[in-house]
Amino acid sequence: MGILLAGCGTSSSGGGDTTAGPGAEGTRGMVFNTVSQDVTLFDPTTNSVTDSRPINAVIRWLSNQQHYWDGESIWTYDFPENEVQAISIDPQTLEVIKQVPVGGTGPGHSFVLSPDNERGFVNSAGSNFLAVVDPTAGEVLERVEMGTFP
Protein backbone atom coordinates (compact mmCIF):
# COMPACT_ATOMS: atom_id res chain seq x y z
CA MET A 1 0.00 0.00 0.00
CA GLY A 2 1.24 3.49 -0.82
CA ILE A 3 -0.15 6.77 0.50
CA LEU A 4 0.07 10.11 -1.30
CA LEU A 5 -1.39 13.46 -0.34
CA ALA A 6 -1.96 14.97 -3.74
CA GLY A 7 -2.02 18.65 -4.26
CA CYS A 8 -0.38 18.20 -7.64
CA GLY A 9 -0.39 21.63 -9.18
CA THR A 10 1.71 23.23 -11.87
CA SER A 11 5.09 23.23 -10.13
CA SER A 12 7.59 20.75 -11.46
CA SER A 13 10.51 21.63 -9.27
CA GLY A 14 10.96 18.70 -6.98
CA GLY A 15 9.57 16.11 -4.64
CA GLY A 16 8.73 18.62 -1.92
CA ASP A 17 6.34 20.48 -4.23
CA THR A 18 4.36 17.34 -4.94
CA THR A 19 2.04 17.64 -1.97
CA ALA A 20 0.15 20.54 -0.56
CA GLY A 21 0.20 21.44 3.13
CA PRO A 22 -2.41 20.28 5.62
CA GLY A 23 -5.82 21.75 4.96
CA ALA A 24 -4.85 23.18 1.57
CA GLU A 25 -7.84 23.56 -0.70
CA GLY A 26 -8.05 20.76 -3.26
CA THR A 27 -5.76 18.43 -1.34
CA ARG A 28 -6.82 14.83 -1.43
CA GLY A 29 -5.24 11.77 0.03
CA MET A 30 -4.65 8.70 -2.09
CA VAL A 31 -4.05 5.18 -0.88
CA PHE A 32 -2.73 2.89 -3.61
CA ASN A 33 -3.91 -0.65 -2.90
CA THR A 34 -1.49 -3.22 -4.31
CA VAL A 35 -3.66 -6.34 -4.11
CA SER A 36 -6.84 -4.86 -5.60
CA GLN A 37 -4.94 -2.53 -7.97
CA ASP A 38 -7.10 0.44 -7.13
CA VAL A 39 -6.75 3.76 -5.36
CA THR A 40 -8.83 4.93 -2.43
CA LEU A 41 -9.32 8.70 -2.27
CA PHE A 42 -9.90 10.46 1.03
CA ASP A 43 -10.28 13.93 2.47
CA PRO A 44 -7.27 14.42 4.78
CA THR A 45 -9.04 17.08 6.84
CA THR A 46 -11.90 14.74 7.78
CA ASN A 47 -10.23 11.36 7.14
CA SER A 48 -13.31 10.30 5.22
CA VAL A 49 -13.19 8.15 2.09
CA THR A 50 -14.50 10.05 -0.93
CA ASP A 51 -14.01 7.59 -3.79
CA SER A 52 -12.29 4.44 -4.98
CA ARG A 53 -11.09 3.88 -8.55
CA PRO A 54 -9.33 1.06 -10.41
CA ILE A 55 -5.81 1.96 -11.49
CA ASN A 56 -4.76 -1.31 -13.15
CA ALA A 57 -1.20 -1.07 -11.83
CA VAL A 58 0.54 -1.97 -8.61
CA ILE A 59 1.87 1.26 -7.08
CA ARG A 60 4.40 0.25 -4.45
CA TRP A 61 6.21 3.41 -3.47
CA LEU A 62 5.83 7.17 -3.76
CA SER A 63 7.64 9.44 -1.34
CA ASN A 64 8.21 13.14 -0.88
CA GLN A 65 11.90 12.22 -0.79
CA GLN A 66 11.68 11.17 -4.43
CA HIS A 67 10.95 13.49 -7.34
CA TYR A 68 8.09 11.86 -9.26
CA TRP A 69 5.91 14.83 -10.35
CA ASP A 70 6.79 16.38 -13.74
CA GLY A 71 4.14 19.10 -13.67
CA GLU A 72 1.60 16.94 -15.48
CA SER A 73 1.92 13.34 -14.35
CA ILE A 74 2.87 11.15 -11.41
CA TRP A 75 5.76 8.88 -12.46
CA THR A 76 6.41 5.53 -10.84
CA TYR A 77 7.05 1.94 -11.90
CA ASP A 78 5.37 -1.44 -12.07
CA PHE A 79 6.50 -4.91 -13.07
CA PRO A 80 3.53 -6.89 -14.37
CA GLU A 81 4.46 -10.39 -15.50
CA ASN A 82 7.89 -9.61 -13.94
CA GLU A 83 8.70 -7.08 -16.70
CA VAL A 84 9.80 -3.69 -15.29
CA GLN A 85 8.19 -0.61 -16.78
CA ALA A 86 8.08 3.09 -15.97
CA ILE A 87 4.50 4.35 -15.81
CA SER A 88 2.88 7.76 -15.84
CA ILE A 89 -0.41 8.40 -14.02
CA ASP A 90 -2.79 11.28 -14.67
CA PRO A 91 -3.45 12.77 -11.20
CA GLN A 92 -7.00 13.82 -12.09
CA THR A 93 -8.32 10.65 -13.75
CA LEU A 94 -5.89 8.29 -11.97
CA GLU A 95 -5.38 6.39 -15.19
CA VAL A 96 -2.06 5.03 -16.40
CA ILE A 97 -1.43 7.23 -19.43
CA LYS A 98 2.06 6.09 -20.43
CA GLN A 99 3.95 2.80 -20.09
CA VAL A 100 7.65 2.55 -20.90
CA PRO A 101 8.93 -1.06 -20.83
CA VAL A 102 12.61 -1.03 -19.86
CA GLY A 103 13.49 -4.49 -21.15
CA GLY A 104 14.40 -6.06 -17.82
CA THR A 105 12.97 -8.33 -15.18
CA GLY A 106 11.70 -7.37 -11.77
CA PRO A 107 11.52 -6.56 -9.20
CA GLY A 108 11.88 -2.83 -9.54
CA HIS A 109 12.31 -0.76 -6.41
CA SER A 110 12.02 2.87 -7.37
CA PHE A 111 11.50 5.46 -10.08
CA VAL A 112 12.83 9.00 -9.75
CA LEU A 113 12.89 11.96 -12.12
CA SER A 114 15.93 14.17 -12.58
CA PRO A 115 15.49 17.71 -11.17
CA ASP A 116 14.85 19.07 -14.70
CA ASN A 117 12.35 16.26 -15.54
CA GLU A 118 14.36 15.39 -18.67
CA ARG A 119 15.27 11.88 -17.45
CA GLY A 120 13.78 9.22 -15.23
CA PHE A 121 15.62 6.37 -13.56
CA VAL A 122 14.23 2.96 -12.65
CA ASN A 123 16.08 -0.13 -11.53
CA SER A 124 15.59 -3.59 -12.96
CA ALA A 125 16.88 -5.66 -10.07
CA GLY A 126 16.36 -9.01 -11.80
CA SER A 127 18.46 -7.88 -14.77
CA ASN A 128 21.05 -5.91 -12.78
CA PHE A 129 20.70 -2.55 -14.51
CA LEU A 130 19.41 0.96 -14.07
CA ALA A 131 17.27 2.18 -16.97
CA VAL A 132 17.47 5.83 -18.03
CA VAL A 133 14.09 6.86 -19.44
CA ASP A 134 13.06 9.88 -21.50
CA PRO A 135 9.62 10.60 -19.98
CA THR A 136 8.51 12.89 -22.82
CA ALA A 137 9.39 10.51 -25.64
CA GLY A 138 8.44 7.45 -23.61
CA GLU A 139 11.57 5.51 -24.42
CA VAL A 140 14.61 4.01 -22.75
CA LEU A 141 17.75 6.00 -23.55
CA GLU A 142 20.31 3.83 -21.80
CA ARG A 143 20.75 0.81 -19.56
CA VAL A 144 23.52 1.22 -17.01
CA GLU A 145 24.88 -2.13 -15.83
CA MET A 146 25.02 -2.36 -12.05
CA GLY A 147 26.09 -4.90 -9.49
CA THR A 148 23.88 -7.77 -8.45
CA PHE A 149 20.28 -6.87 -7.66
CA PRO A 150 20.47 -3.05 -7.64
- pLDDT tens digits, 87-106: 999 999 999 999 999 999 99
- pLDDT tens digits, 2-21: 555 544 444 444 444 434 34
d(Cα 120, Cα 136) in Å, to the nearest integer? 10
Non-local CB neighbours of 141 within 8 Å, separated by 6+ positions = 119, 132, 133, 134
Domain 2-145 superfamily per CATH = YVTN repeat-like/Quinoprotein amine dehydrogenase (2.130.10.10)
Check: pTM over 0.85? Answer yes or no.
no
The DSSP code for 126 is G
